[in-house]
């Protein structure tokens, strides 16, 4: 299942770990002695297992309308568990040493809080497949954010992918509005705000990690720790802390168990993706996670009763095609279809010839006057 934790998937050079550069670990288990095929199979198994379970618990918890007023409290508990897991990992692998300034982490924590809390809240208004499709389309705000923040430039296929994502996303949302009795346009606004935070946080993290050479674990720990402090004050002053605590007391074992499994599955899934990126590269990792998202949507329709129309299928395929084009562009950044390239050259040559003609006529007119 897609989670906002995906915004913090970055690759470092491995110099901050105790293991040698050749060691490969997944969930703190050394799998270096196994063949590449076994390593890839194990990573895929853990990615599918943990993220599918994450999506199940996410929908199980937040699709309940009664959770809407106390969703921030549940997010607060989720943050505390994720922070604790990150700290435990640091004790096993390598102690956390802060390299990024606290001011930067304060910004990252606010963005992490925004993307996680808004994504969770959106499930109270939208079907999980619709929320998942929105999360899959974060290329659009990420492109806008990276152009503004990092000054990046994109190629032809990236813009085509963004257009296809917009079309697929619009069609999927329209299908959800017609078939879902719980559909609320507020959910579209909420998940769009979550994507905006997602776009900003990814670019800020990339800039901070490159500048200060910070590890993934350091970024996760401090981002969630400071975000937990934010949430403590927000929920405390708003009364959500007390209301959420009282709500969870009604079925404390069930609710807190679901939150715990949600947090563990999300964190373990993240670690599996990081290992997959290390042994296979980002393109293969994204292909696996995209397949997992498609399976997540299918399982969501099977486990949670929802009406299905074929508009879900073809609009989802448009999004998948856009994701493929986006990653194809990474290998072929200068690719332009031949017909469009010919049209462009024709228009360019026509413009040049007309420009020269008008320039000559203008000079002749000036000389005459």
| 302 or 19, which is more confident | 302
Kindly state whether residue 163 falls inside one of the protein's structural domains: no
Query: Are 225 and 363 in the same domain?
Result: no
- pLDDT value at position 264? 93
Q: Which are the contacts of 191, defined by CB distance < 8 A and separation ≥ 6?
A: 118, 119, 122, 126, 131, 134, 135
Give residue-wise pLDDT tens across range 62-76: 878 788 889 999 999
Query: Are 269 and 190 in the same domain?
Result: yes
Q: What is the 3-state secondary structure (H, E, C) of 100-151?
A: CCHHHHHHHHHHHHHHHHHHHHHCCCCCHHHHHHHHHCCHHHHHHHHHHHCC
What tokens appear for 207 in the block? Answer: 């800039």
Query: Are 214 and 88 in the same domain?
Result: yes
- pLDDT value at position 246? 92
Give residue-wise pLDDT tens across range 125-169: 877 777 777 766 666 666 666 666 666 677 777 777 777 777 776
- What is d(CA 271, CA 248) in angstroms, rounded to the nearest whole number? 29
Kindly state whether residue 173 falls inside one of the protein's structural domains: no
What tokens appear for 264 in the block? Answer: 């563990």
Query: Are 236 and 348 in the same domain?
Result: no
Q: Look at residue 116 and tell me whether its pLDDT is greater than 80.
A: yes
Query: Are 97 and 209 in the same domain?
Result: yes
Verdict on whether the full-model pTM lies above 0.75? no
- pLDDT value at position 98? 84
pLDDT band at 18 (very low <50, low <70, confident <90, very high): very low
Query: Are 61 and 196 in the same domain?
Result: yes
Query: Are 191 and 271 in the same domain?
Result: yes
Around Cβ 327, how many Cβ atoms within 10 Å? 18
In the chain, the number of structural domains is 2
- pLDDT value at position 357? 56
Beta bridge partners of 26: 29
Kindly state whether residue 80 falls inside one of the protein's structural domains: yes
Q: Give the domain-ending residue among 247, 280, 303.
A: 303
Give residue-wise pLDDT tens across range 180-226: 655 567 878 888 888 788 767 766 776 777 778 777 778 888 989 99
Asked if 77 and 57 count as a contact pair (C-beta separation under 8 A), the reply is no
- pLDDT value at position 169? 65
Q: State the residue range of the domain holding 357.
A: 338-369
Query: Are 283 and 349 in the same domain?
Result: no
Instruction: Identify the top-confidence range among 201-210, 211-220, 303-312, 339-348.
Output: 211-220
Q: Which are the contacts of 230, defined by CB distance < 8 A and separation ≥ 6?
A: 109, 110, 113
Kindly state whether residue 313 falls inside one of the protein's structural domains: no
| 279 or 264, which is more confident | 264
- pLDDT value at position 11? 40
DSSP per-residue codes, 183-240: --HHHHHHHHHHHHHHHHHHHHHHHHHHHH---HHHHHHHHHHHHHHHHHHHHHHHSH
What tokens appear for 273 in the block? Answer: 């993706």
- pLDDT value at position 244? 92
- What is d(CA 4, CA 74) in angstroms, rounded to the nearest whole number? 15
Q: Look at residue 343 and tell me whether its pLDDT is greater than 60.
A: yes
Kindly state whether residue 168 falls inside one of the protein's structural domains: no
Q: What rounded mean pLDDT belongs to the chain?
A: 75
């Amino acid at each position: 299942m897609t989670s906002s934790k995906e915004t913090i998937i970055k690759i470092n050079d491995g110099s901050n770990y105790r293991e040698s550069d050749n060691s490969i670990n997944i969930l703190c288990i050394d799998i270096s002695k196994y063949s590449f095929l076994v390593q890839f199979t194990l990573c895929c198994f853990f990615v599918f297992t943990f993220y599918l379970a994450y999506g199940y618990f996410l929908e199980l918890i937040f699709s309940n309308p009664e959770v809407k007023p106390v969703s921030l409290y549940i997010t607060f508990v989720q943050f505390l568990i994720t922070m604790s897991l990150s700290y435990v990992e640091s004790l096993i692998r390598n102690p956390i040493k802060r390299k990024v300034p606290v001011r930067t982490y304060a910004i990252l924590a606010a963005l992490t809080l925004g993307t996680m809390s808004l994504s969770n809240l959106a499930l109270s208004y939208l079907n999980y497949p619709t929320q998942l499709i929105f999360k899959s389309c974060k290329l659009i705000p990420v492109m806008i954010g990276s152009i503004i923040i990092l000054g990046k430039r994109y190629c032809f296929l990236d813009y085509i992918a963004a257009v296809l994502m917009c079309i697929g996303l619009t069609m999927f949302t329209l299908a959800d509005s017609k078939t879902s009795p719980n559909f609320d346009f507020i959910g579209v606004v909420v998940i769009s705000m979550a994507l905006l935070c997602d776009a900003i946080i990814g670019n800020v993290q990339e800039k901070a990690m490159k500048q200060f050479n910070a590890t993934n674990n350091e970024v996760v720990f401090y981002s969630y720790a400071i975000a937990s402090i934010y949430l403590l004050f927000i929920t405390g002053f708003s009364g959500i802390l007390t209301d959420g605590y009282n709500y969870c007391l009604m079925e404390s074992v069930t609710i807190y168990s679901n939150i715990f499994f949600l947090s563990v599955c999300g964190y373990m899934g993240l670690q599996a993706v990081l290992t997959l990126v290390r042994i296979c590269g980002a393109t293969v990792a994204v292909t696996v996670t995209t397949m997992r998202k498609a399976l997540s949507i299918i399982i969501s329709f099977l486990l949670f009763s929802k009406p299905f129309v074929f508009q879900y299928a073809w609009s989802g395929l448009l999004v998948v095609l856009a994701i493929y084009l986006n990653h194809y562009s990474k290998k072929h950044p200068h690719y332009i279809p031949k017909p469009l390239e010919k049209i462009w050259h024709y228009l360019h040559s026509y413009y040049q010839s007309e420009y020269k003609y008008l320039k000559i006529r203008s000079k002749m007119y000036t000389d005459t006057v």
